[in-house]
Structure 1
Amino acid sequence: MVAIRDVARLAGVSKATASRALSGRGHVAEETRRRVEAAAAAVGYIASPDAASLVTGRTKNVGVVIPFVNRWFFGEVLEGIERALLGAGYDLTLYNVSERVSERSRVFEFFLARKRVDAVIAVGVDLDEREVEVLDRREKPLVCLGGSGGGAARLAVDDRAVGQLATEHLLHLGHVRIAHLAGTGAAHPESVQGHRRDGFLEAMANAGLAGDDTQVVETAMSLPGGYTGALQLLGHPRIRPTALFAASDEVAFGAVLAAERLGIDVPRDLSVIGVDGHEYAEMFDLTTVEQYPGDQGRMAVDVVMRLLGELSVADPLPDSGAPLPTRLVVRGSTTSPAR
């Protein structure tokens, strides 16, 4: 069986130096590191993660808590996280949490509480006080990407500003009958959906258009959800809006398909704007407020590495916690209302 001493002998270094070079922990000259890695490859040596964990107290594993794995945004974030973790020499353990209390409790109080992960990234999940406390008590750094988590490190776009920007784009085109297809749970003020809804309402109020008849319909943040919600909004000709702000691009795609079914032309009869920058947005000719989920995933890993002391920079939050970038991309799904 090949051992670390065989690698050290072939590379002409001590066992301690060989171990540091292969684990990535501790200073080793770059030339020496390359020589040790070449020696390990030559003899077929694979470092044992269990042995390294005993020495360092680290599992070299990060837990990722995510509500959906079949939605575009979350898939893109996950890919960004995975690539960044692999580059840092870490593994990923994925926990798909639902809203059911029993399942969430099991994830936080059983799996994450045990020594299976060094840190946790929560993506688009609103954590309660107990869930945050469980991780804090066991000294597992927590980074929230979107969502909320008390005093945990947090990265997010300014969702209220996103909602305001999308609505103001429609207002500037001359629309006054504007509806919002909000995500389920938009009544929760601290949720992503809630912030986007608040941005919509604020923009409408600033334009003197807010009132009891302001149309907000909650629906699942998915294409089927957008389709169903849009049928509800567009089915009454007398109160039909001329413009629609969808809380995500997938919701917007569903709204476009619903309009097509009802014989409503987009954008002549109905302007539609979404949020995300989905890879299909250009195909749908959809105006959207882009965000960059793959980059967000990589940034979350960067924060985790800082909190774990893997990077030389002490500040755990890049850009002092400034909102993550977004950009309005205007395409053919929005135009001025018909006269």
Structure 2
Amino acid sequence: MVASIEDVARRAGVSIATVSRALRGLPDVATGTRDRVLTAAADLNYVASPFAARLASGRTTTVGLVVPFVNRWFFAEVIDTAETALRRAGFDLLLYNLGDREGRHRFFDVMPMRKRVDGVLVASLVLDDFEFDALTALNRPVGLLGIEREGFLSARIDDIAAARSAVDHLIGQGHQRIALIGGDTDDPMRFTPPLHRRDGYRDALEAAGLEADPALERLGFFTVEGGAEAARYLLARPDPPTAIFAESDEMAYGALREARRSGLRIPDDLAVIGFDDQPLSELMDLTTVRQPVADQALDVTTRLLALISETEDALNRDPAVVLPTELVLRASTEGDADPL
């Protein structure tokens, strides 16, 4: 039978409150009394409840992580990295998957993490003023991943510049009809890549004196099947593109598959470039923009923990961090090798 704090109190001949203070090392317990409590606890193999200790300290040692989806590669990487960093620091992760428009509204209306967390991480959500106000009202440190807002910790990449570098690469190879397979900029979840990467695509075209053609922009919804369907539509046009920029590697995989089924040579007939540099991208020989997902998540999680602990390091760090991306060139845009 597991011993309780009441058993320790009876064995030591003191109150439960005294046992709690003695085990927490508080100074208002006489040395003799503390020794009796510690001896009784050792004799009974008593282990203090972590939940009780948290309540006594006013800390939950828990950080909430808010994501729009959990079934996409980016967010799985964020969750894994944040959870590992928190666990090593003795913290738990409380995950909130918004899922859809109703889930998002309910979350920010109710704020179910209230009094349950010491800090909050928000991943890749475009927040409106009401939602920022709801986070501020928690009176807890908040870290943002993928967006930047004055007064909040943040870690992100420059999605606009990264997308522009990808399209610049295609333009430099002589492509003028460059299609975009992207996410829905009107998605009610309002996460950042569809907005920023589309802007980078259009900026690159404009800078090169190329007119953006709305008929060459197609939704792929960040899935392989979505990318394949979008490519099927684009390649069936009377004036198909000679290159495709996909806002994620999954959509690029779908485009490559559809190009293969259409009998096209990669990259001679169609060049394809993705975004993320997921593990399969090297196997697919896909040119892509490498973004440091784990580094972003680790950076903002580490700084959030420092802020929770009120360390000097937290006060001296720049609250807004922008990490670099890298254009990784492979056979889907260069050379004669077919990546398929």
**TM-score if structure 1 supplies the norm length?**
0.81
The alpha carbon displacement at 1:212 in A equals 4.4
1:256 equivalent to 2:256? Answer: yes
1:208–1:97 distance in 2 versus 1, CA, 3 Å: same
CA shift in 2, pair 1:314/1:260, >3 Å: same
Instruction: Please say if residues 61 and 92 of structure 1, whose CA atoms lie closer than 8 Å, have aligned partners that are also in contact.
Output: yes
Mapped contact 1:2–1:44 kept (Cα < 8 A):
no
Amino acid at match of 1:75: A
Q: Secondary structure at the match of 1:239?
A: coil
How far off is 1:164 after superposition? 0.6
Q: Residues of 1 paired with 2:191 and 2:114: CA distance?
A: 29
CA distance in 2, matches of 1:313, 1:113: 26
Give a deviation string over 1:112-142, Cα, whole Å, max 9, x none: 3521111111111122222221221120222
Instruction: Please list, as runs of the form range in 1=range in 2, the aligned pairs for 1:1-339 lying within 5 A after superposition.
Output: 1=3, 19=24, 46-100=47-101, 102-147=102-147, 151-185=151-185, 191-212=192-213, 215-236=216-237, 238-315=238-315, 317-318=317-318, 321-335=320-334
Which sits farther off after the overlay, 111-120 or 251-260? 111-120
Deviation at 1:42, TM superposition (A): 12
Matched-pair contact (CA < 8 Å) for 1:129–1:150: no
Which digits, 9 at most, give the CA deviation of each residue in 1:157-214, with x for residues without a partner? 0000011110011112221221111211179999321111111111111111124467
Q: What secondary structure is seen at the aligned counterpart in 2 of 1:280?
A: helix
Select between 107-116 and 79-88 the one with higher mean Cα deviation. Answer: 107-116
Percent identical among aligned pairs is 40
C-alpha distance in structure 2 between counterparts of 1:123 and 1:187, whole Å: 16
Q: CA deviation at 1:60?
A: 0.7
Contact 1:184 1:218 in 2 (8 A): yes
Rate the CA distance shift 1:177–1:335 in 2: closer, same or farther, 3 A.
farther
Cα shift at 1:296: 1.7
CA distance in 2, matches of 1:262, 1:41: 73
Residue by residue over 1:204-238, the C-alpha shift from the partner in whole angstroms, topping out at 9 and shown as x without a partner, is 111111244672222301111111111111112x3
Give the superposition deviation at 1:17. Answer: 9.4
Residues 272 and 333 in structure 1, CA contact (< 8 A), matched pair in contact too:
yes
Is the Cα contact below 8 Å between 2:148 and 2:155 reproduced in 1? no
CA distance in 1, matches of 2:112, 2:148: 18
How big is the shift at 1:106? Answer: 2.6
Asked if 2 retains the 8 angstrom alpha-carbon contact of 1:185 and 1:218, the reply is no
Greater C-alpha radius of gyration: 2
Q: Which runs of 5+ in 2 are unaligned?
A: 9-18, 26-40
Hey, what's the Cα distance between the residues in 1 that align with 2:323 and 2:88?
22
Between the aligned partners of 1:135 and 1:41, the Cα distance in structure 2 is 43
For residues 147 and 104 of structure 1, the distance between their equivalents in structure 2, rounded to whole angstroms, comes to 17
Mapped contact 1:180–1:217 kept (Cα < 8 A): yes
In the superposition, relative to structure 1, how do residues 325 and 196 fare at CA in structure 2: closer, same or farther (>3 Å)? same
Q: TM-score, normalised by structure 2?
A: 0.81
| Structure 1 counterpart of 2:185, one-letter code | G
Cα separation, 2, equivalents of 1:317 and 1:228: 45
Distance in 1, matches of 2:145 and 2:109, equals 21
| Structure 1 unaligned spans of 5+ | 7-13, 21-39
Question: Given the superposition, is the C-alpha separation of residues 122 and 69 from structure 1 closer, same or farther in structure 2, using an over 3 Å criterion?
Answer: same
